[in-house]
């Protein structure tokens, strides 16, 4: 995971809240998976290199236990090939199994490909936080929050059929 994160542009990591290039952050992620607070999917290429990762982060003990935050990372060389969509659809299925009623995702608004992918699966812009994240050089970036209301229990629909 650390080698994968090191290959990603820093700008791709800004929405995570923590720098995934640090071993302690990865260790905390693995611990959260073990505790059931995170579900994670990974994708490898033919050589076994990690080329994509998705996570569904939730706090089942908090006030928003019904909400899951989706985090999605795809290596630049694999973008546009459907890998992000596959990972996002996998996370959506996990969210359905977990009984979540809302999903959120955060990204900088200039990550047009990511915004378009999430919107194509029914996510809509819900908030814009000005100057919310800063890179290592101190440059501030806005953060957009997209959300997606999950289907009502007993009514089946897919990520591609949000209504």
Q: Greater confidence, 120 or 29? A: 120
CB distance 118 to 103 below 8 Å: no
Q: Mean pLDDT, to the nearest integer, of 42-68?
A: 89
Per-residue pLDDT reduced to its tens digit, 15-24 = 666 677 777 8
Q: Greater confidence, 155 or 36? A: 36
Confidence category of residue 11, pLDDT binned at 50, 70, 90: low
- 64 sits in which H/E element: none
Q: What is the DSSP letter of 139?
A: -
Count helices and strands in the chain by DSSP H and E runs = 5, 6
The rounded mean pLDDT for the chain is 85
Is 70 exceeded by the pLDDT of residue 84? yes
pLDDT confidence of residue 28:
76
pLDDT confidence of residue 17:
63
pLDDT confidence of residue 13:
67
pLDDT confidence of residue 156:
47
pLDDT confidence of residue 90:
96
Is 80 exceeded by the pLDDT of residue 14? no
Separation of alpha carbons 73 and 35, rounded Å: 22
Q: Greater confidence, 59 or 125? A: 125
C-alpha gyration radius of the chain: 15
Per-residue pLDDT reduced to its tens digit, 136-149 = 888 899 999 999 99
pLDDT confidence of residue 160:
53
Is 90 exceeded by the pLDDT of residue 69? yes
């Amino acid at each position: 995971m650390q080698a994968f994160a090191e290959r990603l542009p820093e700008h791709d990591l800004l929405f995570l809240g923590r720098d995934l290039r640090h071993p302690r952050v990865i260790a905390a992620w693995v611990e959260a998976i073990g505790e059931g607070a995170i579900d994670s999917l990974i994708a490898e290429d033919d050589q076994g290199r990690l080329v994509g990762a998705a996570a569904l982060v939730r706090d089942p003990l908090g006030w928003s236990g019904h909400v899951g935050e989706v985090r999605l990372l795809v290596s630049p060389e694999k973008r546009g090939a459907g890998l992000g969509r596959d990972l996002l659809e996998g996370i959506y299925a996990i969210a359905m199994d977990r009984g979540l009623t809302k999903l959120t995702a955060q990204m900088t608004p200039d990550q047009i490909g990511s915004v378009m992918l999430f919107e194509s699966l029914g996510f809509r812009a819900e908030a814009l936080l000005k100057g919310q994240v800063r890179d290592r050089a101190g440059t501030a970036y806005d953060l957009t929050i997209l959300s997606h209301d999950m289907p009502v229990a007993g009514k089946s629909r897919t990520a591609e059929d949000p209504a």
